[in-house]
Amino acid sequence: MKIAVLPGDGIGTEIVAEAVKVLKALDLPLEMETALVGGAAYEAHGHPLPEATLKLAKEADAVLFGAVGDWKYDKLDRPLRPEQAILGLRKNLGLFANFRPAICYEQLVHASSLKPELVAGLDILIIRELTGDIYFGQPRGRRIATDGHFPGAEEAFDTMRYSRPEIERIAHVAFQAAQKRNKRVTSVDKANVLETFQFWKDVVSEIGLQYPDVALDHMYVDNAAMQLVKEPKRFDVVVTGNMFGDILSDEASMLTGSIGMLPSASLNSSGQGLYEPSHGSAPDIAGKGVANPLATILSAAMMLRFSLNDEASALRIEASVKKVLDQGLRTADIHSAGTTRVSTLEMGDAVVRAL
């Protein structure tokens, strides 16, 4: 199996190194090739997603991705910003279905900013549509200047747009995921204001008729944001558009104690996938050895499960992560009194030992 390893910027290189270490320890027939992406690729080749990197990703069975972005690129013209690398990969590989599970490990119940009883046993799955919506609407805004700002401009705009097939396919993904879980789907929209999301709601309802064993309800995004912190366990599968999913998945991550714990999988229709932590490049803590590699290690587990069809190895990694948490090992983001603080590298080593 061929894996394209794209560490990217900031803490990306540190956390991906630990996930690669864990994958190597499994001793599977994996061929891993690394390439530059994001700001690192811009520095070296003048583009955040060089042709060679895209080619490597397209030809791989799966992509293991770190994170991209740094404040120092804020002034770059939009097509050259590091974020365009991940958006370009998603679009070029057709990775429309983004799985962002939010699971609260019992060892981390007290690391959440919410009361323990609200998050204990939490296991929800946010399914975010990833290649449509306002992120990819046409036109994608009008650039007046190339320095990242709009001197003299009177307006800027982006368009929100979804087509029927785009909504249908993500709805199928959500209903099928729910069938393997607690058989409930909450579709999040803003149908009270936006045409795009009235259409979304109608199409999801239509597809829902094909899944009579799954209970479907609809929720406005503002209410969903509130319910996520009020009563998060009421949710099972949440399906929503690209923009709302971006925001709600960051919110959901804090229920679990730390965004440093959240893996993600982005799949296309042929099962090829990109696996990345749900968090960003965190330039403020980059290079200090304090980042939590568990989200990336858990993303590698999702990669084994979804793209490489190796459920046993995925479960082994997940069990090892639970074990190191049981041992009381914590990176800075999840550290609390009575636990042992470890570095990024020590956390990776501990997972390998647990394997």
d(Cα 222, Cα 231) in Å, to the nearest integer?
A: 14
User: Which does residue 86 bind out of Mg ion, ligand IPM, none, counting CB within 5 to 8 angstroms by kind?
Assistant: ligand IPM
Residue 125 pairs with which residues in a beta bridge?
101, 237
The residues carrying an active-site annotation are 135, 190, 222, 246, 250
* Shortest distance, position 250 Cβ to Mg ion, whole Å: 6
Contact between 246 and ligand IPM (CB under 6 A)?
yes
Site for ligand IPM in 40-79 (CB under 6 A): 69
Contact between 346 and ligand IPM (CB under 6 A)?
no
* Binds Mg ion (CB under 5 A): choice among 158, 246, 251, 346: 246
DSSP assignment of 119-152: HTT-EEEEEEE-SSGGGS-SS----S-SSSS-TT
Applying CB under 6 A, the span of 83-91, 106-114, 299-307, 338-346 interacting with ligand IPM comes to: 83-91
Site for ligand IPM in 109-168 (CB under 6 A): none
| Residues whose CB is less than 8 angstroms from the CB of residue 155 and which lie 6 or more positions away in sequence, other chains included | none
Question: Residue 83, class by beta-carbon neighbours within 10 Å (0-12 exposed, 13-18 middle, 19+ buried)?
Answer: middle
User: Which does residue 178 bind out of ligand IPM, Mg ion, none, counting CB within 5 to 8 angstroms by kind?
Assistant: none
Confirm if 64 and 4 have CB atoms less than 8 A apart.
yes
| Residues whose CB is less than 8 angstroms from the CB of residue 297 and which lie 6 or more positions away in sequence, other chains included | 18, 19, 22, 263, 317, 321, 348, 351
3-state secondary structure of 182: coil
Q: Which residue has the tokens 């097509």?
A: 79
Beta strands in the chain (DSSP E): 2-8, 31-34, 62-67, 97-103, 123-129, 184-189, 215-220, 237-240, 263-267, 273-277, 329-330, 340-341
User: Which does residue 185 bind out of ligand IPM, Mg ion, none, counting CB within 5 to 8 angstroms by kind?
Assistant: none
* Shortest distance, position 280 Cβ to ligand IPM, whole Å: 6
In the complex, residue closest to Mg ion by CB: 246
* Type and span of the H or E element at 206: helix 195-208
* Shortest distance, position 280 Cβ to Mg ion, whole Å: 7
Contact between 83 and ligand IPM (CB under 6 A)?
yes
In the complex, residue closest to ligand IPM by CB: 83
User: Which does residue 168 bind out of Mg ion, ligand IPM, none, counting CB within 5 to 8 angstroms by kind?
Assistant: none
Question: Residue 4, class by beta-carbon neighbours within 10 Å (0-12 exposed, 13-18 middle, 19+ buried)?
Answer: buried
Contact between 170 and ligand IPM (CB under 6 A)?
no
Q: Give 69 or 208: the residue with its C-beta nearer to ligand IPM.
A: 69
* Binds ligand IPM (CB under 6 A): choice among 30, 86, 237, 248: 86
Q: How many residues at the interface with Mg ion, by CB under 5 A? A: 1
Binding positions for Mg ion, rule: CB under 5 A: 246
Binding positions for ligand IPM, rule: CB under 6 A: 69, 83, 86-87, 246, 280
